[in-house]
Structure 1
Amino acid sequence: MSCPLCQSANTSSHYHTDKKREYLQCCECDLVYVSPEFLPSKETEKQEYDLHENSFDDDGYRKFLGKVLTPLSPFIKATKAPELSGLDFGCGPAPVLASMLSEEGVNMSIYDPFYAASPQVLEQSYNIVTCTEAIEHFHSPHKEWALFNKLVAPGGVLAIMTKRVLDKARFASWHYKNDITHVSFFSKRTFQYLAQRDGYDVSFPANDVVLMKKR
């Protein structure tokens, strides 16, 4: 079996089993992931996503997304805003973060395989690419990661929000893994591995936010 992120062969071993699924971990990139036979169908995913009630006038949700916007602000201010382009990847049915970045003067585009499947926006590069609470849903994250490497312009920033794996003991009681659509779990070491391999400077401004600046 190959790791769904780094594609290393025969580097994964058992990590955890609960009542619903088995989880494996790659010893090369540290990714923890659901064993393939337990991956949900597209129909199941869509049913779950349709239950989300995020909206543009939800102050709590805007505050939550501020954890990504706040560390991006210095990058936005350092560049003349009208010249900045951005893509919110995995924006969901309500692209609130894209709206917030537009308010900051960033020329935003959106993409989501379920709600905004516009492949033409994936044909160019951007100064800012955001992926909030989406990367943990990727069944084959090596595909999206290769796409991110093309989407982020040199000197640009990839901003990701996802809760990170800490250790086996805490994983066992971690509520985050119980969402049936959460199938790929990243650790700090996973992002450091990707940064070193693909030419990014990485920082961790919050316990569920990572910024990767392309060299």
Structure 2
Amino acid sequence: MGDERSEHMPIHAEQDHCPLCRSRHTILYFEDRNRRYRQCLDCLLVFVPRCFWLSRSEEKATYDLHQNEPHDEGYRHFLSRLSNPLLAQLPPQQRGLDFGCGPGPTLSSMLEEHGHRIDLYDPFYFNDPSVFDKKYDFICATEVVEHLHDPDREFTSLFEMLKRGGWLAIMTKLVIDRQAFSRWHYIRDLTHICFYSRETFAYLARRFNAQHTFAADDVILLQKH
């Protein structure tokens, strides 16, 4: 991209530490007309420095535009890429959490149809902090982890909420390489601020003593030991 920098891209943004592993070994990975993207050399997370984040009200206004409804068969089919491999691992009548469920919870309904009990949490639409004091057999986060402001703290909380042997099921698009990243539609959504690779999920598995499996290109299952 050259050395040209606009006024809204301060040089100090390049000094940000990794929000996942807190390493200061980060490099400029890519920049476009809106933001900079840095990569951690330790966990390989690609992240957007805080100075480029939307305000909370701007972030919610973007989410309010989403048209995902429980009766939408296309949306249910999309979510089935996560629900099917997760259901294959679950014994009957498990207790789960749909973390970041959004304004129209759908995955929870799909899992309840198979006999599981599901709690809901979303910081904008179902802000029930009591879920953080509970223990779950499984937690789902579909199209959520790319929005996390503090993934270090938030992944720590999620794994603490999981019972031993429990499952964390994640759906998010994965970073491939810098060339693909430059053309990626995923970075055009300004609410997306964290971008993970297969190596990043291997790091998370090591850190939280879990086994990880890629059930699809964008679906990751982590089982807590």
TM range (shorter): over 0.9
Q: Supply the distance in 2 between the matched residues of 1:60 and 1:159 (Cα, whole angstroms).
A: 20
Does residue 71 in structure 1 map to residue 85 in structure 2? yes
What is the TM-score normalised by the length of structure 2?
0.92
Unaligned runs of 5+ in 2: 1-15
Q: Supply the distance in 1 between the matched residues of 2:162 and 2:41 (Cα, whole angstroms).
A: 27
Unaligned runs of 5+ in 1: none
Does residue 157 in structure 1 map to residue 171 in structure 2? no
Q: Structure 1 residue 151: deviation in Å?
A: 1.3
The residue number in structure 1 matching 2:75 is: 61
Q: Supply the distance in 1 between the matched residues of 2:21 and 2:112 (Cα, whole angstroms).
A: 33
Paired AA for residue 162 in structure 1: T
Say which of 12, 18, 21 aligns to 2:35.
21
Tell me if structure 2 keeps the 8 A contact 1:39–1:139: no
The residue number in structure 2 matching 1:131 is: 141
Q: Structure 1 residue 7: deviation in Å?
A: 1.2
Say which of 206, 219, 222 aligns to 1:209.
219
Q: Decide which structure has the larger Cα Rg and report it.
A: 2
Give percent identity, aligned residues only.
Answer: 44
Deviations 1:176-212 (A, max 9, x none): 0000100000000000011012100000010110000
Say which of 179, 186, 208 aligns to 1:169.
179
Alignment RMSD (CA, Å) = 0.8
Q: Supply the distance in 2 between the matched residues of 1:35 and 1:122 (Cα, whole angstroms).
A: 27
Runs of 4+ off more than 3 Å? none
Q: Supply the distance in 2 between the matched residues of 1:65 and 1:159 (Cα, whole angstroms).
A: 11
The residue number in structure 2 matching 1:7 is: 22
Say which of 37, 47, 61 aligns to 2:51.
37
Q: Structure 1 residue 2: deviation in Å?
A: 2.1
Number of residue pairs the alignment of both structures matches:
210
What SS is found at the alignment partner of 2:141? strand
